Amino acid sequence: MIIVYNILRYFLYGIIGIVSIFNKKLRIFFNKRLKQDFSKRKFSNNKNEAILIHMSSVGEFNLSRELIDRLILKGENVILSIMTDTGKAAAEKGYGNNENVAIFYFPLDDYVCLANLFKTYKIKKTVIIETEIWPNLYSVASEKSELYIINGRLTEKKMKSYLKIKGFIKKLLNKAEKIMVQSDEDRKRYVSLGLTDEKVKVYKNLKYSIKYEKISEEAEEKYIENNIQKDKKIIVCGSTRPGEEKIWLEVFKEINEEKEYQLVLVLRHLDRIDEVINEIHQVFPEGENSKISYSLMSEDKKTDILVVDKMGVLRDFYQLADFVFVGGTLVDIGGHSILEPLYYGKKPIIGNYYQNIAEIVEDAKKMSFIKIVENKNEIVEYLKKSEKVDTSEFFRKNNEIDKILEELE
Q: Is pLDDT at 358 greater than 60 in this prediction? A: yes
pTM to 2 decimals? 0.86
Q: Are residues 189 and 304 in the same domain?
A: no
* Short-list 146, 149, 117, CA closest to 133: 149
pLDDT score at 313: 97
* Average pLDDT for 400-407: 96
Q: How buried is 124 (Cβ within 10 angstroms: 0-12 exposed, 13-18 middle, 19+ buried)?
A: middle
Q: Are residues 346 and 324 in the same domain?
A: yes
Q: Are residues 225 and 206 in the same domain?
A: no
The pLDDT tens digits of the residues spanning 6-19 come to 889 888 988 988 99
Q: Are residues 223 and 244 in the same domain?
A: yes
Residue 212 sits at the vertex; the CA angle it makes with 369 and 309, to the nearest 5 degrees, is 95
Q: Are residues 181 and 239 in the same domain?
A: no
pLDDT score at 44: 60
5-25 residues labelled b (16+ CB within 10 A) or e (exposed): ebeeeeeeeeeeeeebeeeee
Largest pairwise CA distance in the chain: 77
Considering 22-26, 96-100, 337-341, the range whose residues carry the highest mean pLDDT is 337-341
Q: Is pLDDT at 342 greater than 80 in this prediction? A: yes
Rounded to the nearest integer, the mean pLDDT of the chain is: 93
pLDDT score at 397: 94
Q: Is pLDDT at 83 greater than 90 in this prediction? A: yes
What CA–CA distance (Å, rounded) separates 330 from 350? 7
pLDDT score at 89: 96
The pLDDT tens digits of the residues spanning 187-224 come to 999 999 999 999 999 999 999 999 999 999 999 999 99
Q: What are phi and psi of 234, to 5 degrees?
A: -95, 120
Q: Are residues 310 and 362 in the same domain?
A: yes
- Where does the pLDDT of residue 361 fall: very low under 50, low under 70, confident under 90, or very high at 90 and above? very high
pLDDT score at 288: 46
Q: Are residues 235 and 152 in the same domain?
A: no
Q: Are residues 230 and 155 in the same domain?
A: no
| Number of domains composing the chain | 3
Q: Are residues 255 and 390 in the same domain?
A: yes
Which comes out higher in pLDDT, residue 352 or 391?
352
Q: How buried is 180 (Cβ within 10 angstroms: 0-12 exposed, 13-18 middle, 19+ buried)?
A: buried
The pLDDT tens digits of the residues spanning 102-128 come to 999 999 999 999 999 999 899 999 999
Show the domain range for 75: 29-211+401-408
Q: Is pLDDT at 47 greater than 80 in this prediction? A: no
Q: Are residues 187 and 245 in the same domain?
A: no
What CA–CA distance (Å, rounded) separates 340 from 337? 7
What CA–CA distance (Å, rounded) separates 229 from 232? 6
Residue pair 79/121 in contact (Cβ under 8 Å)? The answer is yes
Q: What are phi and psi of 400, to 5 degrees?
A: -110, 30
Q: Is pLDDT at 332 greater than 90 in this prediction? A: yes
Neighbours of 347 (CB within 10 A): 19
Q: Are residues 230 and 281 in the same domain?
A: yes
The CATH number linked to 149 is 3.40.50.11720
pLDDT score at 290: 59
Q: Are residues 115 and 194 in the same domain?
A: yes
Q: Is pLDDT at 287 greater than 80 in this prediction? A: no
